[in-house]
């Protein structure tokens, strides 16, 4: 938990998030994991509780929480289930993209629709271009006031239930970074086809699918910003979404610590609780220390955003450290549980599976380290 003081308002929203996570998410996490579909019922309850779309400013009808509050809420939801938390939190990233790159009309329309319960998708990655954003091959060719879009996307989270997508496409294939543009695309646009749910290792309640665009016509009014603004929008969104992924990692690491400690106090071996064996105690100490360090880095990356300062370096630090910590802590949690750690009867095998992708999405941790080196060597 943070070592600094929280305001009364922060305490209230965090208590609400913690209680929702404990009562409405944790008991159903395994069920949604098995169903491997978007958790509609949990989503509806979270909406009633006021825990969705929390970054949408009051001016657009949202709760207007600060980024720090948002990531502290996300951490608490992720403690219950990082897959459910991801499915519920992704709309905040869509809201960020709208706030960063949308026109007033687009903000009012799409933020309003999300506040009314709709879900959006963020369609950047393609089969041949993930880390290499500039390598995107989906093409948007201008035809009068419209664009003709052809191409495909993969790994688009919440795509099976999204009613609209932010789609990144090349409007000028020869212009590198400035050849990318972003479009708001309705799910029932002729020429847009949704692929099947992609089967995955973990975070199964946070579904992902492919999208295909075949001669899809989108009007210029659906473009976000000017032609060529896509790359700059995407990079600004990453600075906001990476603290969110870091918060998912912090919540998961805290859960690993809590589960490991409880088990290690109860389980005995060679005449004493295993927590009293130094090698087990040391793992738990390390888990506590790394989780707290990840939390502080994550809070820092969000606080900079709240103060309107550049946080690219700190967002990369937080995302990388928190996701590496989650992957490490979940592996150690399985180890502390011994054979039971490998059993689906206990919670830690799911934590282990859920943690891995945090090192991959929102830019892999290798890409984050490239960003850190670049940011650290800036003049
Ligand atoms: C469950 C899940 C949900 C996702 N949700 C979304 C979503 O909603 N929207 C979306 O657009 N995308 C989404 N993604 C895609 C995700 O962002 C990409 O998978 C990720 O950016 C990596 O891209 P890639 O898979 O093409 O891997 P690649 O780019 O092919 O990378 C493969 C490996 O090479 C390394 N590598 C690549 N380039 C370099 C380099 N220059 N230097 C060093 N190492 C390098 C990578 O770090 C990685 O280890 C999701 C992915 C998953 C698995």
* Contact 209 CB / ligand 1 (< 6 Å): no
* CA distances (Å), origin 266, targets 236, 256, 271: 47, 16, 12
Q: Can you list the domains of the chain with their CATH numbers? A: 8-115 (1.10.540.10), 120-230 (2.40.110.10), 232-376 (1.20.140.10)
Name the 3-class secondary structure at 146: strand
| Any ligand 1 atom below 6 A from CB of 206 | no
Contact predicate 284/336, CB 8 Å: yes
Task: Report the alpha-carbon distance of residue 180 to residue 142 in Å, rounded.
Answer: 13
From 91, 128, 130, give the residue whose CB has the most ligand 1 atoms within 8 Å, as the site to mutate: 130
Q: What is the mean pLDDT of residues 7-16?
A: 96
pLDDT 10s digits, 60-80: 999 999 999 999 999 999 999
Task: Compute CA 133 distance to the chain's CA centroid, rounded to the nearest angstrom.
Answer: 18
pTM for this model (two decimals): 0.98
What is the whole-number distance in angstroms between the Cα of residue 361 and the centre of ligand 1? 6
> What 3-state class would DSSP assign to 172?
coil
Residues designated catalytic: 362
Q: Return the residue whose CA atom lies nearest to atom 37 of ligand 1.
A: 131
Identify which of 90, 131, 96 has the alpha carbon closest to the alpha carbon of residue 360.
131
Please work out whether the CB of residue 135 comes within 6 Å of at least one atom of ligand 1.
no
For ligand 1, say whether the CB of 302 is within 6 Å of any of its atoms.
no
Residue with tokens 């969104």: 237
Compute the radius of gyration of the chain from its Cα atoms.
21
Q: Which ligand 1 atom is at minimum distance from the Cα of 362?
A: 17
Instruction: For residues 198-224, give the mean pLDDT.
Output: 98
Q: Summarize pLDDT for 328-360 with one digit per residue, the tens.
A: 999 999 999 999 999 999 999 999 999 999 999
Handedness of CA 7, 111, 96, 104 (dihedral sign): negative
Chain segment 263-303, per-residue pLDDT in tens: 999 999 999 999 999 999 999 999 999 999 999 999 999 99
What band does 2 get if pLDDT is binned at 50, 70 and 90?
low
Pocket of ligand 1, candidates 166, 203, 361: which has the most ligand atoms within 8 Å of its Cβ, to mutate? 361
pLDDT value at position 3?
56
Residue 114 contacts residue 120 (beta carbons within 8 Å):
yes
Residue entry with tokens 């003049």? 379
């Amino acid at each position: 938990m943070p070592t600094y003081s929280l305001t009364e308002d922060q305490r209230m929203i965090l208590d609400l998030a913690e209680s929702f996570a404990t009562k409405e998410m944790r008991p159903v996490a395994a069920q949604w994991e098995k169903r491997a579909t978007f958790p509609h019922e949990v989503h509806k309850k979270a909406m009633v509780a006021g825990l969705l779309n929390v970054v949408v400013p009051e001016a657009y009808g949202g709760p207007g929480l600060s980024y720090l509050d948002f990531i502290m809420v996300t951490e608490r939801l992720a403690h219950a289930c990082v897959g459910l938390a991801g499915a519920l939190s992704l709309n905040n990233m869509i809201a960020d993209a709208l706030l960063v790159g949308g026109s007033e009309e687009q903000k009012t329309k799409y933020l309003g629709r999300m506040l009314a319960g709709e879900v959006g998708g963020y369609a950047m990655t393609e089969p041949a271009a993930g880390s290499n954003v500039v390598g995107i091959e989906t093409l948007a060719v201008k035809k009068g006031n419209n664009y003709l879009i052809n191409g495909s996307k993969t790994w688009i989270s919440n795509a099976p239930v999204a009613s609209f997508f932010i789609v990144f496409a090349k409007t000028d294939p020869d212009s590198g970074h400035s050849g990318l543009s972003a479009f708001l695309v309705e799910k029932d646009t002729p020429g847009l086809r949704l692929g099947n749910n992609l089967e995955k290792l973990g975070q199964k309640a946070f579904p992902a699918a492919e999208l295909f665009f075949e001669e899809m016509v989108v009007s210029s009014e659906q473009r976000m910003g000017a032609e060529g603004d896509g790359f700059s929008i995407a990079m600004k969104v990453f600075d906001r979404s990476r603290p969110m992924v870091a918060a998912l990692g912090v919540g998961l690491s805290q859960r690993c610590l809590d589960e490991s400690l409880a088990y290690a106090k109860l389980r005995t071996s060679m005449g004493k609780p295993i927590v009293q064996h130094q090698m087990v105690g040391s793992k738990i100490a390390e888990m506590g220390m790394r989780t707290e360090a990840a939390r502080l880095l994550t809070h820092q990356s969000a606080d900079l955003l709240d103060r309107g300062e550049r946080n690219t370096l700190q967002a990369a630090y937080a995302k990388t450290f928190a996701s590496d910590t989650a992957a490490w802590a979940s592996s150690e949690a399985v180890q502390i549980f011994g054979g039971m750690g490998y059993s689906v009867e206990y919670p830690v095998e799911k934590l282990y599976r859920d943690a891995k992708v945090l090192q991959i999405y929102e830019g892999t941790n290798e890409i984050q380290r490239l960003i850190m080196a670049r940011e650290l060597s800036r003049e």
